Amino acid sequence: MVLLRCRCVAFGRTQCRRLSSSAVSYSARRVVITGLGVVSPVGCSVAKAWTTILSGTSAIGRLEGSGYEKLPCRVAGQIRGDELDVGDYFGKSELKTMARATALALIAAKEALDGAKWTPEDVESCQRTGVAIGMGMIDLMDVCETNEALKKGYNRLSIKYGFRGPNHSVSTACATGAHSIGDAFRFIRYGDADVMVCGGAEASISPLGIAGFCRLRALSTSFNEEPQKSSRPFDAAREGFVMGEGSAILVLEELEHAKVRGADIVGEILGYGLSGDASHLTAPREDGTGAMLAMSRALKDAHLSPKDIGYVNAHATSTPIGDAIEARSIRTLFNGTSERVAVSSTKGAHGHLLGAAGNLEALFTVLACLKGKLPPTINLETIPEEMQDMNLVPNEAQDWNPSSGRRIALKNSFGFGGTNACLCIAEYKE
């Protein structure tokens, strides 16, 4: 027999429940989502961000300041000052010892933990709660000015809440957020934790950061006078990505643990797939096999087939090469039936959050499964000929009402260097 113990916040007492060993075996441990939190260009709460995404509104704006005046790209997805002031959450002395990305992660984590109603105080619950939060690229200005803030920043969340389970920090370029969620999913599935706080954060918009990606010829440069049109995934006029900043945090939980304490369940993680391109420093493999391997492995891990999937939340960053290869990979995966699967990218609204992209978009995928609404791909004015057989959810949200079964989606996330991740996310059903 195994003793499962948790603190039930709703009733203000500790509840215990005995479960048979088979009920919590690795193969049977289901991982559900009980909390969501977000700080992003499209909103600094889950409700606000989701409303903005469904509205098809872009939050991309002009970069102001003399440091940006001579750069080829002068647009980005920034968190508006009237939406969020980190000074309202932390004292001046605290802010001196943490990077901005760390502050954003802490703010998003509070919303997620509040939503999950998970604030354990007993030793056992704290020991069974872990943290997996990553950062794709640190603010280069921090490197130049002070690296002490980042030295003290990575483990702040586990210290703040006293979580003593797995303490994991991922940095896999633009796949960081998805890898963090996937690794947390496995920690719970394999019994290393009962609850994981996971996601990623990014706050690297600066003249130096923009200049670096400009040198790589990766950013959009033709829409400086029309910022809201600059990020345009899949569109024929796409020319590069737009940098964004923010954080999204998910609280994952073992199903029986969540049920015992009466937690609200908003979704479920069914599978996780990873792959490597082994090809090029920045460009994905032209044949799309890296993306294909990640998606097919996520399906295999979830014991599903492509016919079970109704939606793919694409990585599509608005680059000419990357978007085309991902679209080709999706069409290959669904083998002639891609027209029945909805595919969209929300990056047109918030830009590319680099290491925090996969987790922010996973959060939107969770909400799509929960609410039955497909987020649109905005700025999709001309669909390329090779993608015209696909439902790219152009410019307006669509209802998602599967004819049978549950709503199940794939979330793709691909990073420079050829590191790929895919999450299989579903609405929760008993």
Tell me the pLDDT band of 279, cut-offs 50, 70 and 90. low
Alpha carbon of residue 67 to chain centroid: 30
Pairing of strands 246-254, 267-276: unpaired
Query: What is the chain's mean pLDDT, rounded?
Result: 89
Q: Are the CB atoms for 138 and 385 separated by under 8 Å? A: no
- pLDDT for 291-324, tens place per residue? 999 999 999 999 999 999 999 999 999 999 999 9
Over 90: is that where the pLDDT of 116 sits? Answer: yes
382-389: long-range contacts, CB 8 A cutoff, minimum separation 24: 382/235, 382/236, 382/237, 383/234, 383/235, 383/236, 384/234, 384/235, 384/236, 384/324, 386/324, 386/327, 386/328, 387/234, 387/324, 387/327, 389/331, 389/338, 389/339
- Quick check: 130 and 184 in contact, CB under 8 A? yes
Say how far apart CA 222 and CA 270 lie, in whole Å.
Answer: 40
Give exposure, 173-191, as e/b (b: 16+ Cβ within 10 Å). Answer: bbbbbbbbbbbbbbbbbee
pLDDT, tens digit, 9 for 90 and up, residues 368-384? 999 999 999 999 999 99
Q: State how far the Cα of 186 lies from the Cα of 184, in Å rounded to an integer.
A: 5
Output the pLDDT for position 213.
93
Tokens 């009962």, residue located: 194
Question: Quick one: tokens of 41?
Answer: 């260009």
Summarize pLDDT for 388-427 with one digit per residue, the tens: 999 999 999 999 998 778 999 999 999 877 799 999 999 9
Q: Is the dihedral of CA 151, 152, 156, 158 positive or negative?
A: positive
Local structure of 167: helix, strand or coil: strand
**Gap between the Cα atoms of 101 and 305, Å rounded:** 37
Give the tokens for residue 88.
Answer: 């309202």
State how beta strands 408-415 and 311-313 pair. Answer: parallel
Q: Give the C-alpha separation, 195 to 320, whole Å.
A: 39
Distance CA(89)–CA(9), nearest Å, equals 24
Quick one: which of 334, 342, 350 has its CA closest to 396? 342
Distances (CA, A) of 57 to 60, 295, 331, 358, 411: 9, 29, 28, 20, 21
C-alpha–C-alpha distance, residues 167 and 189, integer Å: 16
What distance in Å separates the CA atoms of residue 265 and residue 60, rounded to the nearest whole number?
A: 32
Is residue 202 within 8 A of residue 245, CB to CB? The reply is: yes
| pLDDT digit string, tens, across residues 120-147 | 999 999 999 999 999 876 665 554 554 4
At 322, is the secondary structure helix, strand, or coil? helix
pTM reported for the whole predicted model: 0.90
From the list 73, 126, 174, 422, the catalytic residue is 174
Q: Is 151 exposed, middle or buried (0-12, 13-18, 19+ CB in 10 A)?
A: exposed
- DSSP symbol at 63: P
The alpha carbon of 371 is separated from its chain's Cα centroid by a whole number of angstroms, namely 18
Does residue 158 carry a pLDDT above 90?
no
Strands 61-62 and 311-313: unpaired
* Residue 16 known to be catalytic: no
